[in-house]
């Protein structure tokens, strides 16, 4: 990374597609291996799928409906991930269920871990009908973290269908990038992510399980709405690395022209100042 103004000119982000099972130990091994691969690629941040550590409720409904889950290996693997992050000097965003006090159902969450430990946690806000009635307790707060001068928001799976969340992150929190984790084989999620990136002029990192990658490979979308890099859609664990760089000439229009203009347009002042009171404007039933 290079010094630039108050922060850094760029930050290297890796979107991961790890194998996600219902076994936290196996999941932890996959996560640790890809963390080391991201470090070898000089990434500063590596981003994992929904349920990457604990598994996701849709995989084994009887297990998750009754919550016959041994939380001890989940906690142990989270501790291993935090220790590896400290060893590598790496930021990690990893999906996992977050245990609440019984009989409350857990959150479906993303942990944000730095080389100093857990920084914060995002709890999925807009759950599916099945999730909210059978599996999870909803969260209610957006979460933003700042890393090396770049601001990151977080979102999970079906939240991609709610553009207001991405506009909220852009308009009210001035994020540079949203880290979007999913457990989905729906390619429309990638199309929606591209639309949110282009409409809000933000980067979006898309992380899915390796077994879902044949329909939707992990990768990173630029503020212009195009994929900057993607993993192979072959069902195998992999990472996709991109430098988020405000000085990238490919992104000049999106970051330096469209983004500030759209902020000005949303404020409305430039239009209000040019409003006229003209009878031909008011009459909508005339040619």
Contacts of 134 by beta carbon, 8 Å cutoff, 6+ apart: 57, 61, 65
Which one, of 173, 128, 126, lies nearest residue 153 by Cα?
Answer: 173
User: Does the residue 190 lie in any domain?
Assistant: yes
Kindly state the average pLDDT of the residues 139-144.
98
What is the pLDDT at residue 65? 75
Confidence band of 67 (pLDDT split at 50, 70, 90): confident
238-285, pLDDT tens digit by residue?
A: 999 999 999 999 999 999 999 999 999 999 999 999 999 999 999 999
Do 20 and 163 meet the contact criterion of CB atoms below 8 Å apart? Answer: no
Do 230 and 217 meet the contact criterion of CB atoms below 8 Å apart? Answer: yes
Do 93 and 49 meet the contact criterion of CB atoms below 8 Å apart? Answer: no
What is the pLDDT at residue 9? 87
> Is 36 a residue whose pLDDT tops 90?
yes
Confidence band of 235 (pLDDT split at 50, 70, 90): very high
* pTM, two decimal places: 0.94
> Is 5 a residue whose pLDDT tops 60?
no
Mean pLDDT of the chain: 94
Kindly state the average pLDDT of the residues 79-101.
97
User: Does the residue 260 lie in any domain?
Assistant: no
| CA separation for the pair 107, 252 (Å, rounded) | 39
| CA separation for the pair 189, 217 (Å, rounded) | 11
Kindly state the average pLDDT of the residues 128-140.
95
Kindly state the average pLDDT of the residues 173-190.
96
72-84, pLDDT tens digit by residue?
A: 999 999 999 999 9
Confidence band of 7 (pLDDT split at 50, 70, 90): very low
What is the pLDDT at residue 8? 57
| CA separation for the pair 79, 44 (Å, rounded) | 19
> Is 231 a residue whose pLDDT tops 70?
yes
User: Does the residue 271 lie in any domain?
Assistant: no
User: Does the residue 85 lie in any domain?
Assistant: yes
Do 42 and 10 meet the contact criterion of CB atoms below 8 Å apart? Answer: no
Which one, of 129, 209, 200, lies nearest residue 163 by Cα?
Answer: 200
User: Does the residue 140 lie in any domain?
Assistant: yes
Kindly state the average pLDDT of the residues 165-175.
97
> Treating both helix axes as pointing N-terminal to C-terminal, what angle do 71-88 and 24-40 enclose, rounded to 10 degrees?
10
Q: Which helix (H) or strand (E) holds 77?
A: helix 71-88
Do 135 and 105 meet the contact criterion of CB atoms below 8 Å apart? Answer: yes
Number of CB atoms found within 10 A of residue 268's CB: 9
Do 166 and 196 meet the contact criterion of CB atoms below 8 Å apart? Answer: yes
Which one, of 268, 265, 246, 242, lies nearest residue 255 by Cα?
Answer: 246
User: Could you tell me the CATH number of the domain that includes residue 224?
Assistant: 3.60.110.10
Q: What are phi and psi of 191, to 5 degrees?
A: -65, -45
> Is 170 a residue whose pLDDT tops 90?
yes
Kindly state the average pLDDT of the residues 95-119.
96
| CA separation for the pair 258, 279 (Å, rounded) | 33
User: Does the residue 43 lie in any domain?
Assistant: yes
| CA separation for the pair 43, 20 (Å, rounded) | 22
Domains contained in the chain, number: 1
Kindly state the average pLDDT of the residues 163-185.
97
What is the pLDDT at residue 71? 92
> Is 4 a residue whose pLDDT tops 60?
no
> Is 2 a residue whose pLDDT tops 90?
no
Confidence band of 70 (pLDDT split at 50, 70, 90): confident
188-222, pLDDT tens digit by residue?
A: 999 999 999 999 999 999 999 999 999 999 999 99
46-60, pLDDT tens digit by residue?
A: 999 999 999 998 877
Which residue segment(s) compose the domain that 193 sits in? 3-251
Kindly state the average pLDDT of the residues 172-181.
97
The CA distances from residue 212 to 95, 189, 232, 254, in Å, are 15, 12, 11, 30
User: Does the residue 265 lie in any domain?
Assistant: no
User: Does the residue 258 lie in any domain?
Assistant: no
């Amino acid at each position: 990374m290079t010094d630039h103004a108050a922060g850094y000119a760029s930050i290297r982000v890796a979107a991961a597609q790890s194998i996600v099972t219902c076994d936290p130990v196996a999941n932890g091994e996959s996560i640790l291996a890809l963390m080391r691969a991201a470090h070898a690629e000089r990434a500063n941040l590596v981003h994992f799928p929904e349920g990457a550590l604990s598994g996701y409720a849709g995989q084994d409904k009887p297990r998750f409906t009754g919550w016959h889950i041994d939380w001890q290996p989940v906690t142990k693997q989270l501790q291993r991930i935090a220790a590896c992050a400290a060893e590598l000097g790496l930021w990690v965003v990893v999906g996992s269920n977050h245990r609440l006090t019984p009989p409350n159902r857990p959150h479906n969450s993303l942990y944000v871990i730095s080389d100093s430990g857990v920084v914060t946690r995002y709890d999925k806000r807009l759950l599916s009908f099945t999730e909210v009635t059978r599996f999870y307790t909803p969260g209610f707060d957006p979460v933003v973290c700042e890393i090396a001068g770049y601001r990151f928001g977080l979102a999970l799976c079906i939240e991609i269908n709610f553009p207001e969340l991405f506009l909220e992150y852009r308009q009210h929190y001035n994020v540079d990038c949203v880290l979007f984790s999913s457990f989905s084989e729906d390619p429309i999620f990638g199309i929606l992510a591209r639309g949110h990136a282009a409409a809000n002029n933000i980067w979006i990192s898309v992380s899915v399980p390796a077994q879902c990658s044949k329909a939707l490979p992990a990768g990173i979308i630029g503020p212009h709405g195009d994929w900057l890099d993607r993993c192979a859609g072959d069902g195998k664990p992999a990472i996709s690395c991109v430098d988020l760089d405000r000085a990238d000439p490919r992104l000049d229009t999106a970051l330096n022209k469209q983004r500030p203009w759209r902020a000005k347009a949303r404020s409305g002042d430039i239009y209000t100042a040019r409003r006229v009171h003209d009878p031909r404007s008011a009459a909508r039933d005339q040619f």
